[in-house]
Structure 1
Amino acid sequence: MNQKQQTSPFYNVDWITIIIYLCLVLIGWLNIYAAVYDADHSSIFDMSRNYGKQLIWILTSVIIITAILLIDSKFFNFSAYAFYGITLILLVAVLFVGKLVGGNRAWFEIGSFRLQPAEFAKVASSLALARFLGSNTLKLGDFSDQLKCFSLVFTPVLLILLQPDAGSAMVFMSFFLVLYREGLPPFYLVFGLISVILFVLSLLIPQSYIIITLLVIVGFLLWKDRRVRRHYTLIIGSAVLAITLVTAVNYTFNNVLKPHQRDRIDLLLGKKVDPKGIGYNVNQSKIAIGSGQLLGKGFLKGTQTKYDFVPEQSTDFIFCTVGEEWGFLGSLVVLGLYSVLLMRIIALAERQRSTFSRVYGYGVASIIFFHLFINIGMTIGIMPVIGIPLPFISYGGSSLWSFTILLFILIKLDTNRNGIIR
């Protein structure tokens, strides 16, 4: 390899990942066009429509990609904390001067241009966590080190919850997967699973029944097994934590959540049936996906899409356009692309010699996986509607830019995979 090739910004670039990215972005653009198609504005380049605006975001993303590939890999490690600090400042600022949209003060607005700092907080947190784990000799088995990592990850969460944007805040839970890969004890994953189970039970069963059951289980364990009895402090502490969680869930559900949020949860749990009210979006989405059958109705021929039966179809519910017009096979192709992308990202992360690059790679994979799972889960009715976009496909500049930056920083880091980034 000659010196000129090695100094090229495209030297050692992972083209497989880039091709998958381009395919997903193109699929997104075409489906945004289909979702908001108007015969009076039939040109896909009409800048007054969402698909025209999305083209602008795509073209500006190319500029962002070029800039990232031109930057030295070491820059991202060096400036990680600076990016993180700037993002925290933006998250505070948006609470005071942000535009109120859909009940959330989460956007900066300049003319017709909107920017959502919570989207970029995922990138900044990934970089900061990678920098922290890469530049310190940490033992994630030690509680003090765990606390430092949790503080780094969940400080943006608190600011995002003040907007309030629960959907964006939930995405940060994906960082537990990153920490687990780096040595976080399995206790936290087990605790998270138990917490989810208790959360659901708390909404289905009277609180008093759950508390009595927990007390009976603890009493039985302490009375029956001497080996377990030696760990009575842990058992009693866990019981107190579980009871506190049950109580907190009930209080939050009844006193903190808004009525429409409570209705959505009740609908998901089957406690309420309201296909023409709060469940309208999900019901119409499932009809659209199901109506596509095996091969779909064809491009621009989806009736659910064409007659606007599904609200927010170009953003949160874009996948139902894929299902209706491209059918089961088309949906399978899209999911296949995402699957290959995730496997590719993990492969890139694992081949890094630098801890910084590896941790960051797992951050990218975890965030994309979480978005994918929740978004598609919303459209088929197995997850609550919390309003997070489908990566690279949903309409929106902040979303496309943030996912582009997130992915291409990893691609740039991978070009220097044989080096140690400090």
Structure 2
Amino acid sequence: MAVGKSLVKLDWLTIFLYFALIAIGWVNIYSASLDDSATSFWDFDQIYTKQLIWIFLSVVLIIFILAIEAKFYERFSSIIYLASLLSLVGLFFFGKTISGATSWYSFGGVGLQPSEFAKAATALALSKFLTDIQTDIYVFKDQLKAFMIILLPALLIVPQPDPGSALIYAAFIFPLYREGLHFVYLLLGFFAAALFISTLAFGFWWVIVGVILIAAFIFFRRRKKRPSIFKYSVIVLACIGFSLSVNYIFNNIFEQRHRDRFNIVLGKETDSKGIGYNTNQSEIAIGSGRWLGKGWTEGTQTKGKFVPEQHTDYIFSTVGEEWGFIGSMVVLLLYVGLIVRLLFLAERQKNPFSRVYGYSVASILFFHFFVNVGMVTGLLPTVGIPLPFFSYGGSGLWGFTILLFIFIRLDGANSYYGI
């Protein structure tokens, strides 16, 4: 009887959206990886069969997550976080290098990527810290501690090297903002990103002229309130200093492949056969799908394998080519629906820990979704971020499944009901 009541309390709309995305994702993985070497549908050497096994194992994982008492995740969040950090440190000693990145552990031919699981661990630790009775997010010391919880796993992931996975940790700024972090932090983050891109696109001098003109305009608009010239001068000098550092960061910290991808997106270089080949072929595939697509397994770009590794980071290009604009919109709406639903569930939580964790889940999924689709359509540089529940990969599927279903378990135990 208790099990039956627990099942009733689960948010089945979220679970439906999860399985809908996984099912559509597998259908497209099948098309993107289909070739003539398959001896049967159950050929275990084929990518789509391997993904089917990971999906089945994910169902077993879901049952295990839901069977655990909800309080366990809050009580042991710090231990889970520490274990995830140790797993990331262990890669430097026992990790397996694949495609130039030491990001995997190999167990009998099966690779697991701990960075995919560290997201859920970080979300749990951050939720625990922010809802601790001694934490005051308005105090700078506690803000610094919260940022350290987020930065530690990111700093361990960058040297693997895997900057794309590390970039995801920027998503945690949103739950921090929801819990009371001053809006200025969010504004500074967006402004710094805009200043960085503008300096690369237009050059240092044009950006500085723009910053001075904007500051002067705001200053004279507020002159009746006697604004501080000193404060405005400090802001302008800080912008100049940051803009001066952009070229150094770009030329000395970024790798050449990252510089090339930024230059292509900014229109400073055209390289449809080199570093920009994947994006160019992806755009061709999506554009050729038109309104209704070419049909399942009928995509010429997909069947011809023109988009390298299309079953992973570029899986959305298969949707665009074979299912067209209509099919792409269905997938996008499923993601938007899932994220909005998660925000709604997070807001109705009685337990603050569950609320923060729910916002963390929604933010991580949104960041993955936004960056991946932007990357595949050529609006953002290629940074190697998969599409949640859609891209091929066991670690990614398990990582996102753990992330989501811990929240579903928390929601089932702590939320208000009725909708």
| Alignment TM class, shorter chain as reference | over 0.9
Look up the match of 1:362.
Answer: 359
Q: How does 1:9-24 map to 2 (within 5 A)?
A: 9-24=6-21
The one-letter amino acid of 1:230's match is: S
Pairing 1:371-410 to 2, within 5 Å after superposition: 371-410=368-407
Which amino acid in 1 is paired with 2:92?
A: L
CA contact (8 A) 1:377 1:383 kept: yes
In the alignment of these two chains, the number of paired residues is 415
2:24 paired residue number: 27
Q: Which of 183, 186, 189 lines up with 2:186 in the alignment? A: 189
Distance 1:6 1:119, change over 3 A: closer
Q: Unaligned regions of 5+ residues in structure 2, if any?
A: none
Separation in 1, partners of 2:415, 2:27: 38
Report deviation, 1:6: 5.5
Summarize the alignment of residues 99-118 of structure 1 with structure 2, pairs less than 5 Å apart. Answer: 99-118=96-115
TM score, norm. by length of structure 2: 0.93
CA-CA distance at 1:243 after TM superposition: 2.9
- Structure-1 separation of matches of 2:235 and 2:153: 27
The change in CA–CA distance for 1:309 and 1:136 in structure 2 (over 3 A counts) is same
Distance 2:190 2:381 in 1: 17
Deviating more after overlay: 397-406 vs 106-115: 106-115
Among 228, 238, 258, which residue is 1:230 paired with? 228
Which whole-Å deviations, capped at 9, do the CAs of 1:260-319 have from their partners, x for residues lacking one?
A: 211110000000111122211111101111111111111111110001000110000000
Alignment partner of 1:157 is 2:154: yes
In the alignment, which residue of structure 2 is the partner of 1:337? 334
Give the 3 Å change call, closer, same or farther, for CA 186–303 of structure 1 in structure 2.
same
Are the counterparts in 2 of residues 10 and 69 from structure 1 also a CA contact under 8 Å?
A: no
Aligned counterpart, 1:319: 316
Q: 1:243 to 1:408 in 2, by over 3 A?
A: same
**What secondary structure is seen at the aligned counterpart in 1 of 2:9?**
coil
Secondary structure in 2 aligned to 1:415? helix
Q: Does 1:88 align with 2:85?
A: yes
Aligned counterparts of 1:299 and 1:64: Cα–Cα separation in 2: 30
**Structure 2 CA distance for partners of 1:351 and 1:44, relative to 1, 3 Å:** farther
User: 1:47 is matched by which residue type in structure 2?
Assistant: F
Deviates more, 1:221-230 or 1:65-74: 221-230
Q: Offset at 1:226? A: 8.1
- How far apart, CA to CA, are the structure 2 residues paired with 1:93 and 1:322? 37
Classify the secondary structure of the residue corresponding to 2:7.
Answer: coil
- In structure 1, C-alpha distance between the alignment counterparts of 2:199 and 2:255, rounded to whole Å: 18
SS at match of 2:328: helix
**2:269 matches 1:275:** no
User: Equivalents in 2 of 1:42, 1:327: separation in Å?
Assistant: 30
Tell whether 2:297 aligns with 1:300.
Answer: yes
Partners of 1:42 and 1:328 lie apart in 2 by 33
User: Quick one: percent identity of the two aligned structures?
Assistant: 48
Q: In structure 2, do the counterparts of structure 1 residues 217 and 328 end up closer, same or farther at CA, with 3 Å as the change threshold?
A: closer
Deviation at 1:185, TM superposition (A): 1.0
SS of residue in 1 equivalent to 2:413: coil
- 2:251, 2:45 → 1: CA distance? 42
Partner SS state of residue 158, structure 1: helix
- Write out per-residue CA displacement over residues 139-194 of structure 1, whole angstroms, 9 at most, x where no aligned residue: 32322221111111111111111212111111111111111111111101211121
Q: Would you say the 8 A contact 2:6–2:412 is kept in 1?
A: no
Residues 95 and 162 in structure 1, CA contact (< 8 A), matched pair in contact too? no
Candidates 60, 67, 71, aligned match of 2:68: 71
Distance 1:150 1:169 in 2: 14
Distance 2:216 2:369 in 1: 42
Looking at structure 1, the residues matched to 226 and 100 of structure 2 have their Cα atoms a distance apart, in angstroms, of 49
Alignment of 1:346 with 2:349, yes or no, is no
User: Does the 8 A contact of 1:221 with 1:228 survive in 2?
Assistant: no
Asked if the contact 1:253–1:262 (Cα under 8 Å) also holds between the matched residues in 2, the reply is yes
- 3-state DSSP class of the match of 1:10? helix
Cα distance in 2 between the residues matched to 1:238 and 1:109: 50
Matching residue's letter, 2:251: N
Matched position secondary structure for 1:108: strand
In 2 relative to 1, CA 352–304 (structure 1 residues): closer, same or farther, beyond 3 Å? Answer: same
Counterpart amino acid of 1:399? G
Matched, 1:58 2:55: yes
Shift of 1:133: 1.2
Contact preservation (8 Å) 2:150, 2:172? yes
Q: Measure how far apart 1:418 and its partner are.
A: 4.5
